[in-house]
Amino acid sequence: MNESLNALWHWLRTYGWFALLVLGIVGTFFVAHQTKLRHQRAKFTIGYMTGYVYKPKSGKYYNYRFEVQGTEYEGQSEPDKGMDDSDGARFVVEYDSTHPGTNLGHFLVLVPDSIRQPPPNGWTRPPFPVPARLLDRGKEGK
């Protein structure tokens, strides 16, 4: 058994850096692929601001709620400069149609008062004009 441990230790000292490098590259590609899939499956709905939480290491995050197929979900996203942060503010939420718990609040994309409710399964695109740059949040690694 001791010989096996010595051989493993020798291998790790010799090739461990390479194994970590390969693992890091594979992990990066996996995360990029998952992000791309999530954006391809994206749907949009109305989110309602519910408050914020302050995280000591990363700052303020805003909480919101939204509904998909009759199930209520909660989300949390970083703020956008100039956003309406009042409780109940209505904005667009982008969510993964196969896993709505994975979502992103687009706080600068306010939902017009003329739109009362989204369809139960959301929209493939918001039903009102939105500059594309506002929906690109979170897609920097496309």
Same-domain status, 3 and 60:
no
Same-domain status, 77 and 56:
yes
Question: Cα–Cα distances in Å, from 48 out to 59, 67, 86, 90, 128?
Answer: 21, 10, 10, 5, 18
Same-domain status, 49 and 116:
yes
Paired tokens of 88: 């109940």
For position 31, what pLDDT does the model report? Answer: 75
Same-domain status, 97 and 35:
no
- Distance (Å, whole) CA 20 – CA 3: 24
Same-domain status, 50 and 85:
yes
- Distance (Å, whole) CA 58 – CA 42: 26
For position 141, what pLDDT does the model report? Answer: 47
For position 138, what pLDDT does the model report? Answer: 57
With a CB cutoff of 8 Å and minimum separation 6, the contacts of 93 are 44, 45, 46, 47, 64, 66, 75, 103, 104, 105, 106
Torsion of CA 52, 82, 124, 65, to 10 degrees: 20
- Report how many domains make up the chain: 2
Decide if 56 is inside a domain: yes
For position 120, what pLDDT does the model report? Answer: 95
For position 1, what pLDDT does the model report? Answer: 66
Same-domain status, 27 and 94:
no
Decide if 142 is inside a domain: no
Decide if 72 is inside a domain: yes
Decide if 141 is inside a domain: no
For position 53, what pLDDT does the model report? Answer: 93
Same-domain status, 73 and 121:
yes
Print the domain residue range for 63.
Answer: 42-135
Q: What is the mean pLDDT of each run of 10 residues along the chain (142 residues)?
A: 81 82 82 70 94 90 96 94 90 93 92 94 93 73 45
Q: How many CA atoms lie within 13 A of 117 on its CB side?
A: 7
For position 34, what pLDDT does the model report? Answer: 67
For position 92, what pLDDT does the model report? Answer: 96
Question: Cα–Cα distances in Å, from 135 out to 64, 68, 85, 125?
Answer: 17, 19, 18, 10
- Distance (Å, whole) CA 9 – CA 6: 5
With a CB cutoff of 8 Å and minimum separation 6, the contacts of 125 are 44
